[in-house]
Structure 1
Amino acid sequence: MNDSFEVKDVHMHLQQYSDKCMDLIHVQDAKIQKTKPARGNVYIAGSSCITNIVINNREAKIHLDSGAFFTCAGEYYLEKIYTNGKDKLMPIEVRKFRSSSQNMHPLGIFEAAMIFPHPVGSIRLKVEFFIMNNCASQHFILENYYLNIYGIDIDNHKDSYFTIGENKTQKFAFPLEKREITVIRQVKNVINEKLVSDKLIKAQISPELTPEIKE
């Protein structure tokens, strides 16, 4: 090693793991890359990593989720894209899946080819999704394993975009979304008829409940 290099210079260019026992030295404030939102409004200034794809010749949405542990979709969303898609599921070993402290119930594995459209040249990925019967997301979820093996990098330096593979000049932009918070208001529950017939047909409601709670 060249004598002109110091240990700190080497560490600067290597990946470092967080260690609670590590001495906190040379703490610097991170530089803000954009205009900082007014105090108390940062929660309405963000955006998601949901983008558009083409799958089964239909437009769909997918969430590039580096924090997810498994790639999945809900059975009802699958039916929107693939008619009778559940008939094509591959069997799955009995496993436990959890998401946000909720038990997920897998029906099987669905293999699909999805296309990320781009005017210069679109890119196709082959992915296996776990299909869950209690996943309410209205999009597919692509977890970190596929982001890693396909080299999907999300860049938030200034404008949010992502690249696929070694070509870092071909950038895929995330669709613009409205920066607003959904107003929470009291509405009458509308229960999916299929859900009632399939899941709640044997449910019993306690006669001790008030009409408001029953509703």
Structure 2
Amino acid sequence: MRNELLDVLYTYNNAFASDNEPLGARKGHEVDITLNTDRKYPPVLRRPAYPASPRAREAFKKHIQELIQLSVIRKVGHKEEVEVKTSVIIAWHNDKSRMVGNFRALNTSTVSDRYPVPRIQETLTQLSKYKYITSMDALRGFHQNVLMPKAK
């Protein structure tokens, strides 16, 4: 059983990453994000950022540079700058910072995919026949989703 698990992990090793490495990618599960273009995007997308302390501003710059290095975001525009149009706050937990964006206004212009969430009882029933069950946490959450070219 151990060798079978190692074979699977080796086969899909591009889905895994560790700190300071490129993100793993969920290839074969590309995400298609479609924005409604029949109406203007809400002006709230251009709100000024939340007030931030010098410590939070420095953490924000580090997060942006890290996301650029990981190819999650890219510089755009004539000045090749990263422009943040949504309100961003820096949350602190155990002296580690986390960047949090407010995308509620953008979500109102995004066409939703309608996939029902599986019922927990059905999932547990399906899993009951297995001997081993594991779960893995994504290193950077949604940043590991691969966008379809037209969604970029």
Larger RCO, structure (CA 8 Å, separation 6 or more): 2
- Which is richer in strand? 1
- Which is richer in helix? 2
TM-score range, shorter chain: under 0.3
What is the TM-score normalised by the length of structure 2? Answer: 0.28
Greater CA radius of gyration, 1 or 2? 1
